[in-house]
Structures are given as C-alpha cells and as structure tokens.
Amino acid sequence: MNRKAIVALTIAGSDNSGGAGIQADLKTFTRLGVYGTSALTCVVAEHPGRVSSIAAIDPELVAEQIKLVFEAFPVGAVKTGMLFSSGIIRQVAKQLGKRRGLKLVVDPVMVATSGAALLKPEAERAMAKLLFPQAALVTPNLDEAARLVGKKLRNSEQAKEAALELAKKWKVPFLVKGGHLMLAKAEDYLAWPNGKLKTFTAIRCKGVQTHGTGCTYSAAICAGLAKGLSLESSVGAGKRFITRAIQRHLRIGRYTPLNHLSA
C-alpha cells in the first residue's frame, strides 16, 4: 500500500550523545509520523554534562545538502538549530529564501543551558537579519530572548513583554520559553506581531536533565506545521510532546535523557 509521506527538514548540528541536535529532531519527527530529512551544520563532541569540541561543516556543503533535499522531497516544513557561523547562516538563508511559502521554525541556539554563548556576535546579527524575517516562528529560550532584547528577564511579565517586543520588531511570531524562570509550572509565551499573546502551561518535571529540550520542542512544532496544523495548534501539540518526553525520561547511568520515542 502506498502512503503519501509528510516531510520535514532539520538544519542543525550533530549531538553524538543522541539527546539534542539532528538526532533529537529526527527521533521527534519519526515519533510524530513525519519523514525526517537533515542538513548537517556541525559535529559536536559532547555528552549531557560537557561539550568537548565542535567542528563546522563547510558552508557550501551545508547549502548543497539543503538543495538536494528540496530537489528530491516535498518538504512541508523546516527547522533550524545550531548554525554555528555567519557563513553557514548566510548559505542557509540563501537556500531557504528560494522556497516560497516555506514554513520555517528558527530555534536560535545562541545560548546553552549553562549560559555559555554558542554564536559569535556577528553570527547572531546575521541570524536575526537573514533568518528571522523568513520564519513562521522563532523559539528563543529565556536567556536567548534576554540577549535579543538587551536586558535580563527575571519574571513571567518581563518574558511576556520580551515576546511581544520581539514579535513586533521582527514582524514574525516569537515563542519565548520560560522554563528557566523556575515557576511552579512550565510556561511559554507565544506572541504575534499584532500584539496577541498566548501562554502555554504544563506541569514542571523536577530532577530531570533538560539537555535537548529546545531542539525537541522546536522539532515537534515543525512536525505540526508540516502536517498542516495552525501555528497555535502546532505549539500546543509541541508543548504536550516535550512535556511527555520529559515525564517519560530514560535512566542511563547517571543521566536522564528525554524519551523521544515514547512521548
């Protein structure tokens, strides 16, 4: 029996530990019934507790990967993750700019959970200038949103204001993830350029490592968009998916990775 596949593309780095990056994205796509394709931007040697080293893929090779995926597959939606350099960002923006009506989720991956910067200032500027305007949604975590607005975000009201400010500035929806606020519940704030704001709330799962949650969340949203769901429905479904992946986490040695395939 022939089945028409729904296809999504992730443009991101490789996490050899399997919890984040393209590994997390492809697991998420598979679990949600979407055929996953990928374009690799960098190779990261890491485990959930430490990043050892990062090697970038040549920007031209990144562009070639994207080009060939679009030649062969009817891509329904795209997400970007760790893009590493301004050179890669320019090539990604150039390739995606050729696709009219593209549903693009930009996960900025500017600041690690530890607070360490993952992009140099020139790469941050290139991402904002070249990719944000193409996006159907941008999904910064709290630290990334703070970096984008230029001030610390200490509570939910400030996070909401930042989401609205960024959506208005870039004229695209922004989802500011509020997990780092450590509220009683896990809250995220979706803002539209017209000033509309919606809060997504879930139970907070304590004592679980959060490695790969941002990648997984944005991949789940991308899968929803590829299936034809509205942005609001895709974010809601993504929120439920990431919550289940955390709740049903695995125990492997001293680590508690997300359980993508049981979410």
253 class by beta-carbon count within 10 Å (0-12 exposed, 13-18 middle, 19+ buried): exposed
Q: Which residues are catalytic?
A: 177, 210, 212-215
Nearest residue to 257 (alpha-carbon basis) of 15, 11, 48: 48
